[in-house]
Structure 1
Amino acid sequence: MTINTPLDRKDKKDKNEKMLFLYKFFRAPKQIGSVTPSSRFLARKMVEAVPWPEIRYTAELGAGTGAITKFIHNARNHPGKFILFERDALLRGRLSQMYPDYTCYPDATQITNALQSEGIPHLDCILSGLPFFNFEQSVRDKLLEQILLSLRPGGWFVAFQYSFQMKKQLKEHFNIESINFVPYNIPPAFVYVCRKEQLSDLF
């Protein structure tokens, strides 16, 4: 008789998650952006950048298989709303099963509409795993417009990318607090920690 330990079940789940992610990458590489889910090192680096006691309303863009979602879920230590965005229908369905208390939307270019539906006045923090490098410039512009419209003044935008390609455009719209390199990820990634300008910054 074979006995599956919790560690065995976790390894099997991780393997299945990676296989699903790889399958989705080959089906839509521009949408997925990577051949494997984000590592725990990348997830931790993103989550530790956020001052969670100050955060009530949160969104994650490009939640995928939930590799970063679970770290955000564990870091949020007080009531508030957390909404997810994932274009792929299968991954979105899995996220809804894993996190039934969170609403998952298909289109990150419609953040403000989602906030209206949820009765959320603004977002305090947005974490993103979207592969901006793969998108047309018009899509990047639309995403950043929605992010800026939905974030409160002084709100946080934390995003990982695989290059410095987005640095110039992010700098045009945010104060970049730091850019952190995460070598233990496939591929290695940069975590951009950005803040929307506060009203006091404008005077």
Structure 2
Amino acid sequence: MFTNYFFLIEGFKNLSTVGTITRTSKSITKRIINTINFEEAKIIVELGAGDGAITKYLLQRMRLDSQLVVFEVNPSFCAALKKIKDHRLMIINDSAENMACHLNAGSVKKVDTIISTLPFILFPPAKRDTILRQSADLLADSGSFFQLNYAAAVRDLYKVYFHRVQTAFIIWNMPPAYLFVCDNNIY
């Protein structure tokens, strides 16, 4: 219960970067987790990790030799994430706009999975485009980009950057949400 209250407070204080006042539901988390091929996913990136609702599940399923790199701008959420003790977790307190710089500095050229809960609809277009362009460029050919969103109308936005975009509506979230699964494979 404390974590829900903590998220609610941070959501109200920083709505333009958090994008919601509720944590990601277990329904959405399970949908994402069950879609990832953890045998193949060596490098996973999470954009807007919040207080770790999805992060913890990813770490439970990841291989021991995999790495999870999370980008979170909110210092309070970063402090909560640092309580997760796992050598595979790297927390970067910076905007996802700078992810290519951070990943390249760590010799990461391609990632297998990107999970984003960033509120792109609230971002200035230049910031949104920079993050999506970098995501598409960093994604391995067999990788997937997952985006949680509260409006279906943004589906065409993802089609600009990814070859294929699939949409799932998840009613068991507050508020109900759309999960966009994007990839660069041409079928």
Secondary structure in 2 matching 1:58: strand
Number of residue pairs the alignment of both structures matches: 185
Equivalent-residue separation in structure 2 for 1:137 and 1:121 (angstroms)? 25
Q: Mind listing any 5+ residue stretches in structure 1 that lack a counterpart?
A: 1-14
Equivalent-residue separation in structure 2 for 1:149 and 1:71 (angstroms)? 26
Structure 1 moving runs of 4+ over 3 Å: none
1:190: which partner in 2? 178
Q: How many Å apart are 1:100 and its aligned residue?
A: 4.5
Equivalent-residue separation in structure 1 for 2:120 and 2:153 (angstroms)? 9
The Cα RMSD (Å) is: 1.6
1:136 equivalenced with 2:124 (yes/no) = yes
Q: Percent identity?
A: 25
Equivalent-residue separation in structure 2 for 1:27 and 1:80 (angstroms)? 34
Q: Give the aligned residue type for 1:172.
A: V
1:5-20 matches, within 5 Å, as: 15-20=1-6
Normalising by structure 2, report the TM-score.
0.92
1:172 equivalenced with 2:160 (yes/no) = yes
Equivalent-residue separation in structure 2 for 1:99 and 1:114 (angstroms)? 21
1:150 equivalenced with 2:138 (yes/no) = yes
* Greater share of helix: 1
1:159: which partner in 2? 147
1:1-203 matches, within 5 Å, as: 15-101=1-87, 102-105=89-92, 106-197=94-185, 201=186
CA gap of 1:18–1:115, structure 2 versus 1, over 3 A, is same
Q: Mind listing any 5+ residue stretches in structure 2 that lack a counterpart?
A: none
Equivalent-residue separation in structure 2 for 1:178 and 1:74 (angstroms)? 26
Equivalent-residue separation in structure 2 for 1:99 and 1:170 (angstroms)? 34
Secondary structure in 2 matching 1:48: helix
Q: How many Å apart are 1:19 and its aligned residue?
A: 0.9
Q: Deviations over 1:51-75 (max 9, x none)?
A: 2212111100000011111111112
